[in-house]
């Protein structure tokens, strides 16, 4: 990649594929705005926010499950590594700051990093003072620019972001790539780069603040790192931009579908709640009562929505993965089916 300098435009090419993706994303958002209030339901917003946090942290090797992340955010005790629990609390606090952050402000970026990495690294909120690289297995796949160049590089990147006439979908993706290339912090670059792209997109369309793009990236993690590496080799972020636009479109379509399904409490969730009316049951027992054998589908369509809506909670919240874990209906869940 060519060096950033004042007034320099990061190298990327607007290909026919990128034009098509920008158009499809815009049309999908426009279609949703015509048929809806242009806002996602509070339950879906919260559920997507929790999925974003869990997925973004999982990409960085945090092992906590969505159930554990949800329990932590709800103030319940969870058995886990203290650093991983702190990462969840910090990430939630940072995402909750989105309305107060300016995507064009380096000071805002430093403040976000301070909250995101509080009690995790000693230099939270400050650019790194040493060299960093990205290691894949035993191979070094990226060596970031020297620490002394970071402030100037970030200044140039933010200057470009302020002045560019590129579509926000493209500009946010280019920024994301350039941010990861510079790697301005000693730790937390991946999760903050993904969050900052969300912040840039939020300014264009507020609905995108609650799009769980991180979930799609986690599912395509190998491809995510591959396009980062490819863009490094080509000194051009075009491949990464196309990847991110595809991820945004897929996440948008999934969210739109989920929102339509959630206009009323889904039949799946109500079936689950009726089964739990009499007594708490384990996940295996619930799947058997529902005549289901595919656990991912059960969790996605039944258990996770019920937990996110506060209709169901765990009998052993501090040990979500316990073999003795069961799920019980809450007063809110009972009210839902009455």
Of 205, 236, 261, the one marking the end of a domain is 261
Q: Is residue 27 part of a domain?
A: yes
The answer to whether residue 142 scores a pLDDT higher than 90 is: no
SS3 31: helix
* pLDDT of 217: 94
Whether 1 is covered by a domain: the verdict is: no
pLDDT in tens, 180-235: 999 999 999 999 999 999 999 999 999 899 888 999 999 999 999 899 999 999 99
Same domain, 280 and 134: no
**4: in domain:** no
Spell out the alpha helix ranges (H) of the chain.
Answer: 16-35, 42-59, 66-73, 82-95, 106-116, 150-163, 168-182, 189-204, 213-219, 221-234, 238-261, 267-276, 283-289, 295-298, 304-308, 331-337
Do 222 and 284 belong to one domain? no
CATH number of domain containing 185 = 1.10.3290.10
| Whether residue 279 is found in the same domain as residue 242 | no
Q: Indicate if 324 and 199 belong to the same structural domain.
A: no
Q: Is residue 261's pLDDT more than 60?
A: no
Dihedral Cα 226, 230, 231, 234, nearest 10 deg? 180
Q: Residues 179, 296: one domain?
A: no
Any domain includes 5: no
Tokens standing for 314? Answer: 């765990």
Confidence (pLDDT) at 230: 93
**Among residues 218, 246, 261, which one ends one of the domains?**
261
Cα(135)–Cα(116) distance, rounded to whole angstroms?
Answer: 22
Tell me whether residue 303 is in a domain.
Answer: yes
Assess if residue 333 is contained within a domain. yes
* Overall average pLDDT of the 284-293 stretch: 92
Q: What is the pLDDT of residue 33?
A: 58
Q: Are residues 211 and 301 in the same domain?
A: no
Chain segment 69-104, per-residue pLDDT in tens: 998 998 888 889 999 999 999 999 999 999 999 999
pLDDT at 3: 46
Across the chain, mean pLDDT equals 89
Whether residue 36 is predicted with pLDDT greater than 60 in this model: the reply is no
Among residues 5, 6, 8, 22, the alpha carbon closest in space to that of 241 is found at 22
* pLDDT classification of 256: cutoffs 50, 70, 90: confident
Do 241 and 199 sit in the same domain of this protein?
A: yes
User: Range of 310's domain?
Assistant: 267-337
| Last residue of one domain, picked from the residues 205, 237, 261 | 261
Q: Is residue 301 part of a domain?
A: yes
Q: How far apart are CA 193 and CA 217, in angstroms?
A: 13
On whether residue 6 sits in a domain, the answer given is no
Domain count, the chain: 2
Rounded mean pLDDT, 290-304: 89
Nearest to 269 by CA among 232, 308, 234, 296: 308
Please tell me the distance from the alpha carbon of residue 204 to that of residue 173, in angstroms, as a whole number: 13
Q: What is the pTM of this model?
A: 0.77
Task: Provide the 3-class DSSP secondary structure of residue 140.
Answer: strand
Residue 50 confidence (pLDDT)? 92
Residue 263 above 90 pLDDT?
no
Three-state secondary-structure class, residue 81: coil
CATH of the domain at 285: 1.10.10.10
């Amino acid at each position: 990649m060519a060096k950033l300098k004042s007034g320099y435009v990061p190298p990327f090419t607007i290909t026919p594929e990128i034009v098509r993706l920008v158009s499809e994303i815009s049309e999908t958002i426009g279609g949703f705005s015509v048929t809806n209030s242009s806002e996602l339901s509070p339950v879906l917003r919260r559920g997507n926010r929790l999925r974003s946090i869990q997925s973004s942290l999982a990409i960085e090797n945090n092992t906590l499950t969505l159930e554990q992340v949800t329990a932590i955010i709800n103030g319940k005790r969870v058995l886990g590594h203290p650093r991983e629990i702190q990462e969840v609390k910090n990430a939630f606090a940072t995402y909750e700051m989105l309305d107060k952050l300016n995507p064009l402000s380096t000071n805002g970026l430093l403040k976000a990093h301070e909250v995101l990495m509080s009690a995790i690294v000693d230099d939270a909120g400050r650019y790194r003072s040493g060299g960093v690289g990205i290691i894949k297995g035993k191979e070094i796949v990226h060596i970031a620019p020297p620490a002394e160049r970071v402030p100037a590089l970030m200044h140039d990147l933010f200057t470009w972001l302020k002045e560019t006439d590129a579509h926000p979908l493209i500009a946010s993706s280019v920024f994301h790539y350039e941010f990861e290339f510079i790697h301005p912090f000693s730790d937390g670059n991946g999760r903050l780069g993904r969050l900052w792209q969300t912040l840039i997109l939020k300014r264009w369309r507020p609905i995108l603040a609650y799009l769980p793009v991180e979930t799609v990236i986690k599912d395509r993690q190998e491809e995510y790192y591959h396009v980062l590496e490819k863009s490094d080799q080509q000194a051009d972020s075009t491949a990464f931009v196309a990847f991110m636009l595809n991820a945004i479109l897929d996440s948008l379509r999934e969210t739109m579908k989920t929102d339509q399904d959630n206009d009323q409490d889904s039949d799946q969730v109500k079936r689950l709640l009726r089964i739990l009316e009499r007594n708490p049951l384990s996940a295996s027992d619930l799947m058997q009562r529902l005549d289901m054998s595919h656990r991912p589908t059960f969790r996605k369509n039944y258990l996770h929505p019920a937990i996110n809506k506060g209709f169901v909670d765990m009998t052993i919240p501090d040990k979500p993965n316990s073999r003795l874990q069961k799920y019980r209906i809450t007063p809110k869940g009972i009210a839902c089916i009455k």
